[in-house]
Structure 1
Amino acid sequence: MNRQHTTRRHVSRGRRPLTALALLTGTALALSACGTSVEPVPAAGEEAGRGYPVTVENCGRELTFQSAPESVVGLSPSQTELLVELGLADRLVGQAQVAHHELDEDITAQLTDVPVLSEEAPPAREDLLGAAPDFVYSPTDYEFTAEQGFASIEQLAGAGAEAYTATGGCSDRRAAGTVDDLFTDIADLGLVFSVTERAEELSEQGRARLEEVAGTVEGAERPSVAQLYVEGTTLSAIGGGVEYDIIDRAGGDNVFERDEPAFAEFFAAVVTPEEITSRDPEVIVFSVNDAEHEAATRAYLAETFPDVSAVARDRLVAVPNSDLFPGTLGNIDAVERIAAELHPDLF
């Protein structure tokens, strides 16, 4: 396996000023979505000759485009990165929540003239609308919460902009989300922006990387894994969503299951230290906002769980929150990174 895929992203630079539960219900561990590509609808005129209009389904809504959007905003670095990878850097009129993580130099080099609309939280309503987008790509529905002072989907529509939430980012999909949701987003964006060839190339590359991991870990003994998020002394466990699927694909067995009552309505739940101790995971995977957060989490785990197998054997795996956002190529990075930690003898 090409090891660069497991290390090319850095831990995010900034932490949002949210509580752990807000973080979980917002973007950092993210909500989920439901998106399905629909074939282009034939129509008359010049745009029809180029494949327009096209319709995609997203979060239970049908979005129809008469032509490719020209003024685009990515509401997190993860979304901005995917747009750039699809060759759409020249259409970006805004990027947001840029403190979440550092993008690779080849990506940032294409964003030097793209205005930053916000650092840590989603952009305020007036800032997003002021960028005059006609397409906004978000990792979750949280970024469209009017009660938080953000532009709602309806307000964006009133300003002439379509809002697209990553397929892993709608609330009705969150608990059942998988890494494959990313490929729905890539296909949808390829269709909307008429860059289907590049979208197919990205998907093929991503699927090949996942297949390589699957082939490498096939038949290997699967260690038990707890996936956690720590904010201060508040401990949250993951029992569903794309994070659950990432562990499974990496060759681990989650100690928390999707069908447990605690995860009946959401993919994550606050748990007691005693609950972790009783399940005694062999590996603990934890998501982090930055280097400071990683250090604090490691210290908490060492102090709280000295006798848990994962801590006693120093099998603690930090993963940037940004790699767990719905609709990001980082999902694939996370599978590779975790697989290499779960099965070091195979990579």
Structure 2
Amino acid sequence: MKSNRYMRKQLLVSCCLKRSALMTMASLALALTLSACSDHRTEDTSVMPGKAARAPLSIEVCGRPVVYDKVPQRAVVHGINLLEMFLALGLQDRLVGYGGLRDIQRLPKAMQPLLAQVPDLSSQGMNLETLLNAEPDFVFSGWSYGFRQGQITPASLQELGIASYVLSESCIRQVARERVSLEDTFSDLLNLGRIFDIEARAGALVRGQRAELQRITDALKDQVDKPRVFVFDSGTDIPVTTGRYAMPHAMIEAAGGSNIFDDLNSSWMRGNWEDVIARDPDWIVIVDNDRPTADGKRQFLLAKPELSQLKAIREQKFVLMDFSEATPGPRNVEATRRLAHALHPAHIPRP
């Protein structure tokens, strides 16, 4: 005979699936639709074994306080860089699913076995049905990573009794920010440590990364030359690049360079080839996200006639970054050192 918990879960999924056609409406409509299911979800999760109650913990997320009253036991993470954060903190035993990872080989080799028993819920966007079937009590993602207005959002998850945390860098999609910094990555790691009650582990990881970053910036503190850097993510007719609120901007600054598109007031966005030519970068950072391959992007840039006189093209000065290095994650500092060595080899030893 099926358990009451199973029946409640099936009722919840059925309830939410009947309303899936409304997922393209505005987020307020989504929240109202999902509220019909929230009572069932709240009843179910309140009796899940192993959910450790604690004194309410308040953390600022995208400029507003969010309260966490339980230590999550069943987490879903969407986005390769966010997944690397989670695994770097040793939280693989809390994972009941992940998404946004097209190929597990994109992870560092040491991390790949950690996902052997964890279901891949979606290689692309979040899917409500598969998410609910995993019965999570916590979702970690970011705006334009997995959270999207009119689809799955922190507010709609809250209606279902599911806690969430939003990647700090992605908050620019919802609220104004003063700047982006590698401290954003450190803050996310520390906040996850608080949420999952592993503060000592998170603190040790962040202290090591802060110390390494300090060594880089100390070595470059008297450096006045700031090589111009163009970040090329994708695009042929129009390049997708890094504005002043994307992580590579902070990494370029820490590495002693200047982002040629620091006047674009968002994170990842479209630039134009005319400005690339006018601003004549000394270096080009190619983001490797397999669409196409990094070498394919390099060959495209070298073959584009109007770019032939750029200094970076003439001298073939390229730095390759994996997508998960160029987005907030535990490999940001390592990639910053590699970039700093390329820009200032006399001051920063080869990694």
TM-score above 0.5:
yes
Report if the CA contact (8 A) 1:238-1:267 is conserved: yes
**Equivalent residue, structure 2, for 1:306:** 308
Question: How far has the Cα of 1:212 moved from its partner?
Answer: 1.7
Q: Which moved more, 1:50-59 or 1:121-130?
A: 50-59
Deviation at 1:142, TM superposition (A): 4.7
Quick check: 1:250 aligned with 2:255?
A: yes
Which letter does structure 2 place at the counterpart of 1:243?
A: P
**218, 226, 231: which is aligned to 1:227?**
231
Letter in 2 for 1:161: I
Equivalenced residue count is 291
SS at match of 1:117: strand
5 Å-filtered alignment, 1:1-347, equals: 52-99=55-102, 102-119=106-123, 121-140=124-143, 142-145=145-148, 147=150, 150-170=151-171, 171=173, 172-173=175-176, 176-220=179-223, 221-241=225-245, 242-257=247-262, 260=263, 263-264=264-265, 266-290=266-290, 292-304=292-304, 305-326=307-328, 328-345=329-346, 346-347=348-349
SS in 2 for 1:281: coil
Note the aligned Cα RMSD (angstroms): 2.4
Structure 1 residues 140 and 309, CA, compared in 2 at 3 Å: closer, same or farther? same
Q: Percent identity?
A: 27
Distance, in Å, in 2 between the alignment partners of 1:269 and 1:98 is 21
Structure 1 position 268, deviation (Å): 4.7
CA-to-partner distance for each residue in 1:206-264, whole Å, 9 max, x for gaps?
1011112112333233322222333233213423022211101011122333xx3xx24
Q: Relative to 1, partners in 2 of residues 1:124 and 1:50: Cα closer, same or farther, differing over 3 Å?
A: closer
Match of 1:206, as an amino acid? Q
Cα shift at 1:135 = 0.7
Distance 2:209 2:54 in 1: 26
State how far apart, in whole Å, the 2-side matches of 1:175 and 1:118 are.
Answer: 33
Equivalent residue for 1:39? none
Encode CA deviations 1:171-208: one digit per residue, 9 max, x unaligned.
Answer: 22567221110111112111111111011101101101
What SS does the corresponding residue of 1:230 show, helix, strand or coil? coil
CA deviation vs aligned residue, 1:275-325 (integer Å, no higher than 9, x gap)? 212211111123221284312211221122111101101111121222222
Instruction: Name the amino acid aligned to 2:154.
Output: I
CA distance in 2, matches of 1:269, 1:154: 25
How far apart in 1 are the matches of 2:270 and 2:323? 17
String of CA shifts for 1:71-98, please: whole Å, max 9, x gaps.
0011122222222222221111011111
Task: After TM superposition, give the deviation of residue 269 of structure 1 in Å.
Answer: 4.5
Q: Which amino acid in structure 1 is aligned with residue 197 of structure 2?
A: S
Gaps of 5+ in 2: 1-49
Cα pair 2:75 2:136 within 8 Å, conserved: yes
CA distance in 1 between partners of 2:205 and 2:176 (Å): 23
Give the letter aligned to residue 120 of structure 2.
V
> Which SS does the other structure have where 1:63 is aligned?
strand
Q: Aligned partner of 2:85: which letter?
A: L
1:59 alignment partner AA: C
Distance apart, 1:111 and its partner CA: 1.7
Larger relative contact order (Cα-Cα within 8 Å, sequence gap ≥ 6): 1
Question: Matches of 1:252 and 1:94 in 2, distance apart?
Answer: 38
Q: In the alignment, what sits opposite 2:24?
A: none
Name the CA distance, whole Å, in 2 between partners of 1:174 and 1:333. Answer: 25
Contact 2:75 2:94 in 1 (8 A): yes
- Deviation of 1:161 (Å): 0.9
Does the 8 A contact of 1:73 with 1:80 survive in 2?
A: no
In 2 relative to 1, CA 152–272 (structure 1 residues): closer, same or farther, beyond 3 Å? closer
Letter in 1 for 2:112: T
Tell me the TM-score normalised to structure 2 length.
0.76
Bigger drift between 53-62 and 195-204 goes to 53-62
My pick for the range that moved more, 232-241 or 280-289, is: 232-241
| CA 1:73–1:50: 2 relative to 1, 3 Å | closer
